Amino acid sequence: MAQDIRDLLKGENSGKAKLSKGHKNRFEAMLDKEKPQEKNSFSWLKIAAIVLVLLSVSFFGYQYLSDFTGDINNTNANPIVEVDKKDTNTPSQISIGDLSPDLKKVEDYYMAGINLQLASLKVDPENKELVDGYMSQLSILDKEYKKLNLELNKEGPTEATITALIDNLKLRLELLFKLKNKLNEFKTQENESSVL
């Protein structure tokens, strides 16, 4: 015959069972004795996973950047101005990035911004004239940058030359931002006129 489990438990002591003294310490010691290698292998697994993630990110980052630079050098996609390529025949050429780590960061920041803006330009027949005008201004600034870089190499680093080089990079990036704004305005006006 079936019994109600509640009736069976009513008679049981509802208090907690007492463990002997040192039970917890003996249990932990026994666990450590049985499985000490798991802690070490677990930390090695963490390190291996981190290394694997870093290698994967590096590989895919390299692939992305090589695709990105391939798109920049593609002359059929956009009319892009060549930006500060060092001449490989003259290894003694220095740029502002070679002078100090801080200047290298500034140069890399502006060059990355310029390349990013150039790569994101969308040229179509309606805005080609506007883009060509800005590209000619960028070409002039690029030639001026090369002249300033030659001056840096001939006369050595001076505050005026370094400032002029940084200002040139800054001006090119600002010019590209203005071009982007003009293209957005042009697109907005085009959209508004097509709605009317």
| Domain match, 160 and 64 both | no
| Domain match, 97 and 68 both | no
Residues 6 or more apart whose CB falls under 8 angstroms from that of 168 comprise 141, 144, 145, 148
Q: Which parts of the chain fold into alpha helices (H)?
A: 5-10, 23-34, 36-73, 101-119, 128-155, 159-195
| Domain match, 157 and 176 both | yes
Residues 6 or more apart whose CB falls under 8 angstroms from that of 131 comprise 79, 121, 123, 179, 183
Do the domain assignments include residue 8? no
The string of pLDDT tens digits covering residues 116-146 is: 888 888 888 887 888 888 888 989 988 998 9
| Domain match, 85 and 169 both | yes
Average pLDDT, the chain: 76
Do the domain assignments include residue 183? yes
In this prediction, what percent of the chain has a pLDDT beyond 90?
A: 3
The string of pLDDT tens digits covering residues 27-56 is: 888 887 877 555 555 677 788 888 888 888
Do the domain assignments include residue 35? no
| Domain match, 52 and 117 both | no
| Domain match, 86 and 57 both | no
Give residue 78's pLDDT.
45
The residue written with tokens 């001006």 in the block is 171
Whether 53 and 81 have beta carbons less than 8 Å apart is answered as no
> What are the b/e assignments for 132-158, b being 16+ CB within 10 Å?
eebbebbeebbeebeebbeebeeeebe
Number of domains in the chain: 2
Whether the per-residue pLDDT at 72 is higher than 50: the answer is: no
Q: Is the pTM of this model over 0.85?
A: no
| Domain match, 90 and 168 both | yes
| Domain match, 67 and 146 both | no
- Give me the DSSP letters along 135-148: HHHHHHHHHHHHHH
| Domain match, 94 and 178 both | yes
| Domain match, 189 and 162 both | yes
| Domain match, 87 and 163 both | yes
Do the domain assignments include residue 13? no
Range of the domain at 153: 80-195
| Domain match, 178 and 86 both | yes
Give residue 19's pLDDT.
75
> What are the b/e assignments for 95-113, b being 16+ CB within 10 Å?
bbbeeeeebeebbeebbeb
